[in-house]
């Protein structure tokens, strides 16, 4: 929740910008670190959700690992304090250069997504005389009951290796001399809100698959259950910290593990979504034929989730909240400046009467926001502003002075 003095300081800052509530980040990360220790579960932060250096430095300082999906993420995570032996690297399309960089850095494990990838990694490891540690990402064919663009564990998705290739997979692992088999990796989707149901199902399927691989003579030392825990986009203040407890309890109750087996998880969104808001200003208020438009200076180039997935973000008029009179409310279509009809923050949103210059907060913007920003329409990239460094933020210029 943004307090009065913070909002007052926003008045001097050039918009749009991503505002990071560092207290909330610290509370969330500390809470997860404590739960992970209690449940003996290793946490790898899914770097793709947000690559902001200050966030990564805090997360790595708490002993978390990093889950990366590109060579640049691997190098960036390492430069932000994640030791190489706590970095895992997934992704269906790793280039030779990316494999080389990760191999020579000595990462904890490649999460391999195809038989050919294992073959190529083994060849490269052979050439450079380094043993590669690999996990195999399995497609468990589980419905995560989430948006189809963030469902990853169904046979129709491109991720992981499916059951029909298991025999060949085991043969390749057993024959590949430059590979150390680290374990099995799963990830069924993102923004999972039916937490106990979906993760219990995932664990049950994982138990069967682990048993199968061990019967074939492979020791599964590590079981990585992926990420996906959902956050509350409707009520970011009421549920500022995602339900990690239910997630970890569900895993503990359902996963079968020997004392020598380690369980890993890879939360991205749930660690960082709620700690950031995209702060924007109303540029113009326009009456259309049938509706009123609030035109903001932040658009789909800054945060593409609404345009890409039809995602909902709570939007607040911060300036109206500070006004002393009680304004009437009005329905607005809140839109961005980009020349695309999909550049809509929310249709028919009820807000206090809003005027040019009002500061608006697009909440829960910390995950899959800034990382997907683009320079479409040659817009500038919105900078980061941190709650503990407000004085360093770029100042607004008054063109009417
Ligand atoms: C392999 C893998 N692990 C973890 C994550 C993180 O998911 P989330 O941000 O939903 O926790 C993703 C996201 O797509 C992923 O692909």
Q: What is the predicted pLDDT for the residue at 374?
A: 98
pLDDT tens figures, 155-172:
666 677 888 899 999 999
pLDDT tens figures, 348-385:
999 999 999 999 999 999 999 999 999 999 999 999 99
Q: Kindly state whether residue 397 falls inside one of the protein's structural domains.
A: no
- Do 155 and 67 share a domain, yes or no? yes
Q: Kindly state whether residue 182 falls inside one of the protein's structural domains.
A: yes
- Looking at 267, 291, 326, which one is the last position of a domain? 267
Query: Measuring CA to CA, how many Å separate 195 from each of 39, 247, 268, 393?
Result: 17, 6, 15, 38
pLDDT tens figures, 91-150:
999 999 999 999 999 999 999 999 999 999 999 999 999 999 999 999 887 776 767 666
Ligand 1: residues within 6 Å at CB? 46, 48-49, 67, 90, 152, 187, 190, 226-229, 266-270
- Do 95 and 234 share a domain, yes or no? yes
* pLDDT band with cut points at 50, 70 and 90 for residue 152: low
Query: Would you list the DSSP string of 300-333?
Result: TTT--HHHHH-----EEEHHHHH-SS-PPEEEEE
Report how far ligand 1's centroid is from the alpha carbon of 339 (Å): 31
Q: What is the predicted pLDDT for the residue at 324?
A: 78
Mutate to test the pocket of ligand 1, among 44, 45, 48 (most ligand atoms within 8 A of CB): 48
Angle at 251 between CA 246 and CA 257, to 5 degrees: 160
- Looking at 222, 249, 267, which one is the last position of a domain? 267
- Do 287 and 358 share a domain, yes or no? yes
- Do 27 and 146 share a domain, yes or no? yes
Q: Which domain holds residue 345?
A: 4-16+274-392
Give the number of domains in the chain. 2
- Do 10 and 92 share a domain, yes or no? no
- Do 168 and 286 share a domain, yes or no? no
Structure tokens belonging to residue 85: 């032996």
Q: Which residues contact 169 (CB under 8 A, 6 or more apart)?
A: 115, 118, 136, 161
Report how far ligand 1's centroid is from the alpha carbon of 5 (Å): 35
Q: Is the pLDDT of residue 178 over 90?
A: yes
For tokens 């663009």, the residue is 149
- Do 263 and 350 share a domain, yes or no? no
CATH of the domain at 281: 2.40.37.10
- Do 138 and 194 share a domain, yes or no? yes
- Taking the C-alpha atoms of residue 216 and residue 175, their distance in angstroms, rounded to an integer, is 14
Report how far ligand 1's centroid is from the alpha carbon of 186 (Å): 10
Distance of CA 167 to the CA centre of its chain: 33
Q: What is the helix (H) or strand (E) element at residue 198, kind and residue range?
A: helix 195-215
CATH of the domain at 243: 3.20.20.10
The average pLDDT across 27-52 equals 98
For tokens 């909440």, the residue is 363
Higher pLDDT, 223 or 1: 223
pLDDT tens figures, 199-243:
999 999 999 999 999 999 999 999 999 999 999 999 999 999 999
Structure tokens belonging to residue 42: 């290793």
- Looking at 250, 267, 284, which one is the last position of a domain? 267
Q: Which residues contact 7 (CB under 8 A, 6 or more apart)?
A: 318, 319, 321, 322, 359
Report how far ligand 1's centroid is from the alpha carbon of 272 (Å): 12
Q: What is the predicted pLDDT for the residue at 195?
A: 96
């Amino acid at each position: 929740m943004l307090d009065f003095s913070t909002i007052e300081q926003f008045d001097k800052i050039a918009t749009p910008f991503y505002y990071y509530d560092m207290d909330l980040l610290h509370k969330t990360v500390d809470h997860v670190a404590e739960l992970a220790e209690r449940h003996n579960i290793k946490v790898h932060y899914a770097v793709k959700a947000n690559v902001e250096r200050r966030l990564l430095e805090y997360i790595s300082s708490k002993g978390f690992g990093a889950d990366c999906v590109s060579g640049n993420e691997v190098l960036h995570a390492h430069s932000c304090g994640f030791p190489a032996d706590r970095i895992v690297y997934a992704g269906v399309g790793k280039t030779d250069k990316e494999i080389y960089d990760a191999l020579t850095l000595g990462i904890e494990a490649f999460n391999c997504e195809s038989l050919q990838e294992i073959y190529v990694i083994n060849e490269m490891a052979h050439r450079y005389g380094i043993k590669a540690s690999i996990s195999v990402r399995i497609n468990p064919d589980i419905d995560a009951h989430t948006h189809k663009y963030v469902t990853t564990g169904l046979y129709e998705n491109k991720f992981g290796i499916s059951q029909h290739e298991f025999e060949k997979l085991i043969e390749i692992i057993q024959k590949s001399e430059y590979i150390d088999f680290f374990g099995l990796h799963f990830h069924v989707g993102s923004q999972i809100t039916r937490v106990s149901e979906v993760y219990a199902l995932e664990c049950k399927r994982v138990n069967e698959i682990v048993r199968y691989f061990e019967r074939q003579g492979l020791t599964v030392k590590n079981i990585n259950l992926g990420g996906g825990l959902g956050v509350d986009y409707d009520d970011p203040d009421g549920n500022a910290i995602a339900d990690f407890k239910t997630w970890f309890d569900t895993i503990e109750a359902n996963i079968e593990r020997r004392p020598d087996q380690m369980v890993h998880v890879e939360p991205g969104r749930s660690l960082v979504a709620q700690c950031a808001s995209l702060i924007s200003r109303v540029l113009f208020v326009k009456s259309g034929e049938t509706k009123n438009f609030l035109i903001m200076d932040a658009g789909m180039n800054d945060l593409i989730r609404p345009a890409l997935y039809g995602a909902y973000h709570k939007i607040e008029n911060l300036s109206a909240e500070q006004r002393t009179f009680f304004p009437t409310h009005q329905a607005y279509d809140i839109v961005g400046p980009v020349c695309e009809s999909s550049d809509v923050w929310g249709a028919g949103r009820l807000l206090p009467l809003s005027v040019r210059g009002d500061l608006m907060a697009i909440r829960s913007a910390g995950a899959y926001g800034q990382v997907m920003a683009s320079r479409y329409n040659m817009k500038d990239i919105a900078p980061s502003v941190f709650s503990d460094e407000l004085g360093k933020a770029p100042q607004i210029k008054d063109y009417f002075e």
